[in-house]
Chain A
Amino acid sequence: MAGVQVGKRIIGAEAPVIVGWENIGRVEGGPFKRFFFTWFQPAVLFGLIAFWYYAPNEWALASIGIAIGLGFKVLLLGLEWVNPRYRSWQLTWKEFATDVFYVGLGYTLVRMMGTYLGDDVMIGAVQDAFAWEKFSWFTGLPLLVQALAISMIFDFGQYWMHRGMHNWYPLWLTHAPHHYITQLNINKGAVGNPVELFLIGLGVGGFFDFLPRAFLIAGAIGMSVATYQHINVRFNTPRWWRFIFNTVEHHSVHHSRDYEATRSNYSGTWIIWDRIFGTCVDGEAELLGQEGGRRMDIGETMVYPFREGYRTTRAWLRRKLRLPEAPGAAVQPEPAE
C-alpha cells in the first residue's frame, strides 16, 4: 500500500485510509433523508445552546442535562440503525451489552476514583497549597464566551493528555485497550481500561470560576459535537463544521489500523487544536483496531496496562541485570505498535 503524504508523514501505508474529503461517502436516499442527515448536527448544537441559554433557573440543572444526554444517546442509537456509515460497524447485541458495561463502569467505578483522586481534588490541593482563589473574572464575560472558554480549555487539556498517551509508554498502556475497538458505535467512547477513562476525564477547568449556566452550555457543546466521534451514522457534515469540530470521520482515522494515522486527530471536540498543533488528518477509515483487528475482551482490557507494564519492566530489568530474556518476551519499542 502506497499511502498518501500528509505533511511529513505517509498515511495509509499499512491499512486503507481515505485522506481528504473528496472521496468520503455521502448520504444516499430521498431529499428528506439527505436534508435530515445534513442539518441534524448543526440543528441539535444550536438548539441545545439556545435551550440552555434561555432555560429558566429551575430547569438549568445538571440532572436535566444528564437526562437530555441519555435521551440524545437513545436517539443516536436509532439513527445508527436507520443510516449506518458502515454495515461492518453494525451494532450487535453482544457489542451493545459490552459497551453498556464500560458505560456502567464510567458511572460507578470511575466516578468513585474521581471523587477521591479526580481533578477537583488535585486542583483543591493546589489552591490550598498556594492559597489561590479561583480565577473569577470569567463570570463577568458573556455567557457564550464563558461556555466556549470552558469547552476549549477542557478540550485543550484532553488534547495533550491524549497526545501524551500516544507518545509516552506508561500512558499508552492505559490507552491501548481503547484502540482495540474494531468498530465505532455511540458508546464506544466509554470502552477502555478504567485508569484511562479516569485520566482522560481530568481537566484544569476547576481553576476558573464560571457561571453554572455557562457550564451547562459548554456541556451541551461537548455533547452535541464530541458524541459524534464514535458514532456509526453517515452524515453530510458541513464543511465549516468539520473544519472547526472533531467528527467521526476524523476519529475513524485516529482508530484506523494504520500506525501513522493513529497518531493524528487527538482532540475530543475542537479539531482546530489538531490543526494548530499539526496533527490533523482529514479523512476516514473503515478498518479499525490493532493487531489486524483482534477484538480485546473485557477481561484483557481490565488487566492489559498492568500485565504489559509488568512484562516490560521485567524485560527492562533483565536487560539491565544482563539476564537472559524470558521465553516469548517481546517488548513494544514504542507506543501504538
Chain B
Amino acid sequence: MSRLALPYVDRIWHASGTLELDEALSPQDAFARLDPLLRAPGTSYAVAGDTLTYSKTNPAAQDKLATFTSGTLRIENQPNGIARLVFRVRSTALLLCFLAPLLFLGFAQVGAAINAWEASAEAADKDKSADKDKDKNRPKAALHPIDKFLGAPAPEDPDAKKKDKADKKEKIPTTPAYVLAGLFLVIWMVGRALEPWLLKRALRAALAAPAGAIGSDAAPAAGQGPGPQPETC
C-alpha cells in the first residue's frame, strides 16, 4: 500500500535533517556514541545495518530526546569520505500542541453557549432576581480610623458600583479560552523551530564525544546508579 504523501501536514509533528560528522565514522561507531543518549528510562532501540530506530514511552522530563518519542537515525557515507547522520523523528507532543487550540476554542464555544442560555434564563426570570438582590441598599462601608490615618482610599459606594455592573458580565468568561488557543499556537511554533535545533545539538554533542562519555546532566533517579540505566534497551 503506498503511503499518502502530505509533506506540509507531516511537518506539524515530524522533523528531519542531516548532520555532517567531523570524522569518518562507521554506523557501528556512530551508534556506539549515541548509545548513552538513548539509554534513558522508557526508551528502546534497534539497529539494522546503517539505521537505528528508537521509540520512547513517556520519557522523563529531562530526557534530551523527550519531545521526539520515535524516529530513525541513519548514517550515510558520502563520496568525499565524510559520514553524515540523517534523522527523521516524530513528536506526539508537537502534534498535541498543534491541536490544543481546537480544544480551547471548543471550551470558548461551550462557555458562549452557557452564557447565551444563562442570559435567556435571566431575562425570563428578571422580576424574581430583582427581588432576590441581596446587595440592594447595602450600607456604604467605612474605613477603619487606622486606615484613614494611613491614607488608604475610601471604599466605593456599593450602590454606585452596582450601576457599573449592570452592563457586564459573562457567567463563563470566554476570553481566557481564546487567549490560550493563541498561546498554544505560539508554543507550537516555538517548539517546531526550537526542538529540532536542540535535537541536532544533542546529537552533535553525542557524536563528538567518545563512546560512553555522554550522559544526562540531570540528577540520577532513585534506584539508579551513577549513570543512566535503561529500562528497555
Contact = CB atoms under 8 A, between A and B. Distances in A.
Interface stretch (A82-90, A236-244, A259-267): A82-90
Which one of B146, B147, B194, B195 has the highest number of Cβ atoms from chain A below 10 Å of its Cβ? B147
Nearest to B195: A93
B134 to A, nearest CB: 8
A204 interface: no
Contacts of A15: 222
Interface of B: 58-62, 66-67, 93, 96-97, 100, 104, 107-108, 110-111, 114, 141-144, 146-147, 150-153, 155-156, 171-173, 176-177, 180, 183-184, 187, 190-191, 194-195, 198, 217-219, 221-223
B104 A108 contact: yes
Contacts of A112: 107, 110-111, 114, 172
A257 interface: yes
A9 interface: no
Contact of A108 (B144, B176, B198): B176
Given A56-B153, A97-B97, A100-B183, 5 more contacts: A87-B217, A93-B187, A104-B180, A109-B107, A111-B172
Contacts of A86: 219
Interface stretch (A73-81, A135-143, A309-317, A321-329): A135-143
Q: Which of under 10, 10 to 19, 20 to 34, or 35 or more describes the interface residues of A?
A: 35 or more
Contact of A293 (B96, B171, B222): B222
Contact of B153 (A55, A90, A139): A55
Closest 8 CB pairs of A and B: A88-B219, A107-B176, A108-B107, A104-B180, A88-B218, A142-B144, A293-B221, A139-B141
Interface of A: 15, 53-57, 60, 86-88, 90, 92-98, 100-101, 104, 107-109, 111-112, 115, 139-143, 182-183, 211-213, 257, 286-287, 292-298
A107 B96 CA distance: 19
A257 B104 contact: no
Nearest to B158: A212
A57 B153 contact: yes
A90 B216 CA distance: 12
Contacts of A95: 61
A87 B218 contact: yes
Contacts of A104: 100, 104, 176-177, 180, 183-184
A219 B71 CA distance: 47
Contacts of A211: 141, 155
Contact of A94 (B67, B152, B155): B67
14 contacts: A15-B222, A54-B152, A57-B153, A87-B219, A93-B67, A93-B190, A94-B66, A94-B67, A97-B93, A104-B176, A107-B176, A108-B176, A109-B107, A140-B141
B183 to A, nearest CB: 7
A111 B110 CA distance: 12
Contacts of B217: 87-88
Contact of A257 (B173, B176, B190, B222): B222
A298 B171 CA distance: 28
Contacts of B219: 86-88, 286-287
B47 to A, nearest CB: 26
A295 B146 contact: no
A92 B153 contact: no
Contact of A53 (B62, B152, B218): B152
Nearest to B145: A142
Nearest to A91: B61
Contacts of A88: 62, 217-219
A287 B187 contact: no
A186 B152 CA distance: 32
Contacts of A142: 144, 146-147
A189 B109 CA distance: 27
A165 B59 CA distance: 28
A298 B93 CA distance: 11
A105 to B, nearest CB: 9
B177 A115 contact: no
B177 A94 contact: no
A213 B100 contact: no
Contacts of B187: 93, 96-97, 100
Contacts of A56: 153
Contact of B61 (A182, A213, A287, A298): A182
Nearest to A212: B155
Which one of B62, B97, B100, B173 has the highest number of Cβ atoms from chain A below 10 Å of its Cβ? B62
Contacts of A92: 61-62, 66-67
A104 B190 CA distance: 18
Which one of A87, A107, A109 has the highest number of Cβ atoms from chain B below 10 Å of its Cβ? A107
A90 B151 CA distance: 44
A231 B111 CA distance: 32
A213 B111 contact: no
A182 B177 contact: no
A213 B153 CA distance: 9
